């Protein structure tokens, strides 16, 4: 029997917390491929608290992602390629941006990194006697590694070349000069790409009008069922959960400001997750809430997934709250709904694809003020027991219908197999 190989490329997994959702997806891939090689750049920092479970048959292959001088010199040839000048036109006519020296530099560096990765993959397969034509390549983010896989596909007979499209892969607004290099070429050189939401798919179609939309196949991330649903009513104290990294995009300070002003009922707020602003948020929260008799809170650090799930089950939260200024479709919302927990979140990115307003939670505006957050919490608090239980049931049903890992990852693997080539 001919063996099937998967070359899966991550940015940090399994050494850092940036891509935790790959742990669940990887288990499903392991059931369909005889051997998986998980490529990840060597990490300067490794999270000591997080230990991911790696399935049998998965080999981790760290690689050196440093760009050396010789590579830079060889990479100057890309300045004379058609696709380099095509990208300059895209910047001017599609993105309506003024070309800068930093943009030109980012294009060239991306080409050099992609070419280095292309050469690394070829050398790895040949030295390990892995057949190109039975190897499927899949990047978990659409970046320079995806471009390198596309280069490999162009000149070698491989089974397939695929990538996910996470929301941050195309978040131009947060990038230097509001520009991300060579996104159009990355997609064009792959067999199929899988946006994590309709929002991401529509954004790419609008931003890159020359991209073949038939290559875009929405595939939601997913979470596994951890417990049977709990449809019990609220108590007298509203238990709120936030589950996210702490940085400026997540805007946890908005929730703190709302809790500072909330007076009408008791609240118990739990936060799970660290990040760049962890210490600042702890200090800010203490200064704002230390004398609030109706507010209790605890800010935890990072938890492994198993501990998160045990915590969600044991503590029995009334609502998950998300105040982010930018999102794809947050996996934390999927996890909450798998525990039948309603969600309140800002209407950004693909959040409206999971929150159905007044059915399984409440949509806030994209830029809410503390009063709007208070109003949503108050509305939830005063729901009748019957209405609240219905909201919990709808939350669980949303997870089961749209974000069940067994269904979503099986669909992803099936679509990859359909678009793979048989040599």
Helix (H, G, I), strand (E, B) or coil at 397: helix
What does pLDDT average to over the chain? 92
Answer whether residue 422 shows pLDDT above 90: no
pLDDT, position 49: 64
| Short-list 210, 193, 202, 109, CA closest to 146 | 193
pLDDT, position 51: 79
User: Do both 393 and 412 map to the same domain?
Assistant: no
Cα separation of 279 and 275, whole Å? Answer: 9
Residue 68, domain member (yes or no): yes
Q: Which residues partner with 5 through β-bridges? A: 35, 135
User: Do both 216 and 253 map to the same domain?
Assistant: no
> What are 339-358's pLDDT values in tens digits?
999 999 999 999 999 999 99
User: Do both 69 and 168 map to the same domain?
Assistant: yes
Quick one: average pLDDT of 327-340? 92
User: Do both 289 and 381 map to the same domain?
Assistant: yes
Q: How many residues make up the chain in this entry?
A: 423
Number of domains in the chain: 2
pLDDT, position 174: 77
**Please, which pLDDT band fits residue 278 given cuts at 50, 70 and 90?**
confident
Helix (H, G, I), strand (E, B) or coil at 262: coil
Segments of 213-283 assigned E as strands: 237-243, 266-272
> What are 124-165's pLDDT values in tens digits?
999 999 999 999 999 999 999 999 999 999 999 999 999 999
Question: Which residue matches tokens 């060239």?
Answer: 108
Answer whether residue 198 shows pLDDT above 80: yes
150-159, 206-215, 237-246, range with the lowest pLDDT: 206-215
> What are 74-116's pLDDT values in tens digits?
888 999 999 999 999 999 988 999 999 999 999 999 999 999 9
Structure tokens at 296: 């209790």
Which H or E run contains 160? strand 160-165
Residues 6+ apart with CB under 8 A from 384: none
Secondary structure of the chain: what % helix, strand, coil (to 5)? 45, 15, 35
Tell how many helices (H) and how many strands (E) occur in the chain.
Answer: 14, 12
Burial class of residue 105, CB neighbours in 10 A (0-12, 13-18, 19+): exposed
**Largest Cα span, the chain:** 70
User: Do both 413 and 391 map to the same domain?
Assistant: no
Answer whether residue 48 shows pLDDT above 70: no
CATH code at position 273: 3.40.50.2000
Residue 229, domain member (yes or no): no
**Please, which pLDDT band fits residue 423 given cuts at 50, 70 and 90?**
low
Quick one: average pLDDT of 320-348? 94
pLDDT, position 71: 87
**Please, which pLDDT band fits residue 1 given cuts at 50, 70 and 90?**
low
Segments of 68-152 assigned E as strands: 135-139
User: Do both 323 and 394 map to the same domain?
Assistant: yes
How much of the chain exceeds pLDDT 70, in percent? 98
**Please, which pLDDT band fits residue 173 given cuts at 50, 70 and 90?**
confident
User: Do both 166 and 24 map to the same domain?
Assistant: yes
**Please, which pLDDT band fits residue 118 given cuts at 50, 70 and 90?**
very high
Q: Torsion angle, CA of 282/287/291/294, rounded to 10 degrees?
A: -50
Answer whether residue 221 shows pLDDT above 90: yes
User: Do both 193 and 283 map to the same domain?
Assistant: no
Answer whether residue 211 shows pLDDT above 90: no
| Short-list 351, 243, 370, CA closest to 301 | 243
User: Do both 103 and 186 map to the same domain?
Assistant: yes
Quick one: average pLDDT of 48-61? 85
Burial class of residue 229, CB neighbours in 10 A (0-12, 13-18, 19+): middle
Structure tokens at 356: 């159905």
Q: Residue 327 sits in which domain range?
A: 237-402
pLDDT, position 47: 66
User: Do both 394 and 360 map to the same domain?
Assistant: yes
User: Do both 375 and 295 map to the same domain?
Assistant: yes
| Short-list 23, 308, 2, 226, CA closest to 136 | 2
Residue 230, domain member (yes or no): no
Answer whether residue 44 shows pLDDT above 80: no
User: Do both 171 and 243 map to the same domain?
Assistant: no
């Amino acid at each position: 029997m001919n063996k099937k190989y998967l070359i899966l490329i991550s940015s940090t997994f399994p050494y850092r917390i940036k891509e935790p959702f790959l742990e669940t997806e990887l288990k499903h891939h392991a059931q369909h491929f005889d051997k998986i090689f998980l490529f990840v750049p060597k990490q300067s920092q490794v999270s000591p608290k997080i230990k991911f479970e790696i399935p049998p048959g998965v080999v981790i292959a760290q690689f050196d992602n440093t760009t050396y001088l010789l590579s830079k010199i060889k990479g100057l040839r890309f300045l004379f390629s058609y696709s380099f000048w095509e990208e300059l036109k895209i910047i001017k006519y599609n993105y309506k941006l003024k070309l800068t020296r930093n943009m030109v530099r980012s294009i060239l560096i991306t080409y050099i990194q992609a070419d280095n990765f292309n050469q690394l993959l070829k050398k790895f397969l040949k030295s390990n006697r892995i057949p190109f034509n039975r190897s499927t390549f899949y990047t978990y983010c659409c970046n320079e590694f995806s471009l390198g896989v596309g280069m490999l596909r162009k000149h070698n007979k491989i089974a397939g070349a695929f990538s996910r499209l996470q929301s941050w892969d195309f978040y131009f607004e947060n990038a230097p000069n509001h520009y991300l290099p060579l996104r159009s070429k990355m997609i064009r050189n792959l067999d199929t790409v899988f946006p994590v939401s309709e929002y991401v798919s529509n954004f790419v179609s609008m931003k890159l009008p020359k991209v073949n939309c038939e290559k875009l196949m929405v595939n939601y991330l997913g979470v596994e069922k951890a417990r049977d649903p709990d449809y019990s009513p609220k108590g007298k104290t509203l238990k709120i959960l936030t589950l996210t990294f702490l940085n400026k995009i997540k805007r946890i300070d908005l929730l703190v400001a709302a809790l500072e002003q909330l007076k009408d009922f008791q609240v118990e707020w739990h936060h799970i997750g660290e990040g760049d602003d962890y210490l600042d948020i702890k200090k800010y929260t203490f200064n704002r809430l230390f004398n609030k008799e109706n507010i209790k809170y605890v800010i935890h650090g990072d938890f492994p997934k198993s501990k998160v799930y045990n915590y969600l089950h044991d503590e029995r939260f009334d609502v998950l709250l998300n105040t982010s200024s930018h999102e794809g479709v947050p996996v934390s919302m999927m996890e909450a709904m798998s525990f039948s927990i309603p969600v309140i979140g800002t209407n950004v990115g693909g959040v409206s694809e999971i929150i159905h307003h007044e059915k399984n939670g409440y949509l806030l505006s994209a830029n809410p003020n503390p009063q709007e957050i208070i109003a949503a919490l108050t509305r939830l608090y005063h729901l009748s027991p019957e209405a609240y239980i219905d909201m919990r049931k709808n939350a669980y049903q949303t997870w089961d219908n749209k974000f069940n890992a067994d269904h979503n990852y099986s669909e992803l693997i099936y679509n990859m197999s359909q678009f793979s080539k048989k040599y």
